[in-house]
A and B are shown apart, each in its own frame.
Chain A
Amino acid sequence: MSVLVYANSSEGKFKKSAFEVVSYGKKVAEELGTNVIAVTINIDGVAELQNYGAETIVTVNNDGLKVFNAQGYASVIKQVAEAKGSNVIIIDSSIDGLYLGPLLSVAFNAGYASNVVAAPSSTSPFIVKRKAFSNKGFNNTEISTENKVIGLAKNSYGIHENSVTASVESFQASIGDFGVASTSIDKAVGKVTIADADVVVSAGRGLKGPENWGMVEELADVLGAATACSKPVSDLGWRPHGEHVGQTGKPVATNLYIAIGISGAIQHLAGINASKVKVVINTDPEAPFFKAADYGIVGDAFEVVPQLISKLRDFKAQNS
């Protein structure tokens, strides 16, 4: 028995979620009185994982898995779990994690809980807390099967240092044919994505037109943040659909979410509520967003945001 975690990486670098799942896996392993094994796919330099408690690191290198493939990755993770006798597998709840999770759970004959936000409250019965109702509630879920798959929500359990010395071993996975193949990837280079960002700067119709987004991008740049927008803004074509955050758009679970000129419709709040600290800048003190925010400025974005940019630049200069 052991706990297996899949440490997600992209372009040769671990995702932040990799450290979250290792930290979480270590905690679950402690509760179960066993050890944690991390599996990595096509990444060199895996030693970093031992800072968070990975006692064993299993590396898989395979040219057939250069591009993420849900079926292929699920199959490899299952093979490692079986070879290592693991019966708990922990993955992240990234776009790719949520794609491979259900395939893995069926293949591994495991009960699966995704978007899990905390360490198990009990391991016998095995109960985890997961998000429900678009962040308006949580569900305590019992996983009753012997094999278990847990999808850890982003930015929830956190990263916990727990230094160990890991043994690193490579694993030869067998890869069959996949029914789904990637033909091309269209991705902005060098831009912080909403999924990876610690800070998201988001703006709404209050900005009056797409020509006014310069200051939003500038603020995001100062903060190393990703840019996002409300639904009306993407529907109007002011900003690309990929920036739409909210119920039917992308979910946001960052440390800091700054909403500029967004009133805070319930559908918008449902998508961003998992963010830790929310700041709203709006001319209308009655905007519903003020009820959901931690900090607020009632004021004109066209005056407040440029000041914020300049003051943040000074702050960054002093604190770097």
Chain B
Amino acid sequence: MKILVCISHVPDTTSKINFTDNDTKFDTNGVQFVINPYDEFVLTRAMWFKEKQGASVTVVNVGSASTEPTLRKALAIGADDAIRVNAEPIDGMSVAKEIAEVAKNGGYDLVLAGKESSDYNGQMVPGMVAAMLGFNFVNGCVGMEVDGNNVTATREIDGGSESLVTTLPLVVGGQKGIVEESDLRIPNMRGIMMARKKPLNVVEPTSSENATSSQSFEKPAPKGAVKLVDADNIDELINLLHNKAKVI
């Protein structure tokens, strides 16, 4: 099985979010970038397939050279090789086109991605890649097994879960549950040393087509201070929720 894992390079969750150039650009100043947390879950699942069922694992990112440390981290976790498509990501559609191209050229039969990235949270890329390639698609995946070409998967639904059957070739948008948080791997020194020698191939983008583009950013309106209610005065809280906030 040839697995392609999509790695998004995102600001760490604890980063301060600021915008520059008249609110048209994300301010990367002082921001630490990490592997998208959702992608870490599927990468770990890919490592399991590699170790238990014999698969090769390639990681891919669409981005500038500044994303290479993130790809190296994925290699240190255990991926065999990495591909960076040398393009600034513009929107989900343009990223999906590049990943679909890489998947097609490399003959991958399983494409794993976090269901969303923690920066734009759009849940667009995995489904678009599947639709472009004509692969099957499972989103919100919280468990999967592969037996030959047959795949059983579980996805999250409102208030529960759904069991699915499908076949390779397949794209999966995964989330916590596909592996547990305690299964996530921190690269060790040996992994980091080995990662330096693993291939990281840079390929040029095939198209620059995008369907949407960012015009500007906004921050949420500043929130007023919390209104504290005395623990002995629950009636006041109920009154506020009913008459002022109008939520009960």
Interface residues of A (CB under 8 A from B): 10, 68, 70-71, 94-96, 98-103, 105-107, 110-115, 127, 129-145, 179-188, 191, 193-196, 198-199, 223, 235, 241-242, 244, 247-249, 255-256, 266-267, 270, 273, 276-277, 279-280, 290-300, 303-304, 307-308, 311-312, 315, 319
Contact = CB atoms under 8 A, between A and B. Distances in A.
Interface in B183-234: 210-220, 223-224, 226-231, 234
A298 B228 contact: yes
B212 A107 contact: no
Most buried by A among B159, B166, B216: B159
B108 interface: no
Given A114-B124, A296-B227, A186 B162 contact: yes
A242 B229 CA distance: 31
B13 A267 contact: yes
Given A110-B211, A142-B212, A144-B213, A185 B37 contact: no
B17 A133 contact: yes
Nearest to B177: A241
B49 interface: no
- What is the size category of the interface that chain B forms with chain A? 35 or more
A264 to B, nearest CB: 11
Given A135-B220, A186-B162, A277 B241 contact: yes
A193 B161 CA distance: 12
Given A193-B158, A247-B13, A280-B226, 6 more contacts: A98-B123, A106-B128, A129-B218, A141-B215, A180-B137, A300-B231
B44 interface: no
Contacts of B123: 98-99, 101-102, 114
A308 B234 contact: yes
Contacts of A180: 136-138, 164-166
Given A103-B137, A105-B93, A291-B226, A199 B247 contact: yes
A96 B128 CA distance: 15
23 contacts: A98-B115, A99-B155, A102-B92, A102-B127, A103-B130, A130-B122, A139-B217, A141-B91, A142-B212, A145-B211, A179-B135, A182-B164, A188-B160, A247-B13, A248-B175, A291-B226, A293-B226, A294-B226, A294-B245, A295-B226, A304-B231, A308-B238, A315-B248
Contact of B212 (A112, A196, A248): A112
Contact of A137 (B136, B217, B240): B217
Contacts of A312: 238, 248
A134 B118 contact: yes
Most buried by B among A105, A296, A298: A105
B13 A266 contact: yes
B177 A102 contact: no
Contacts of B231: 297-300, 303-304
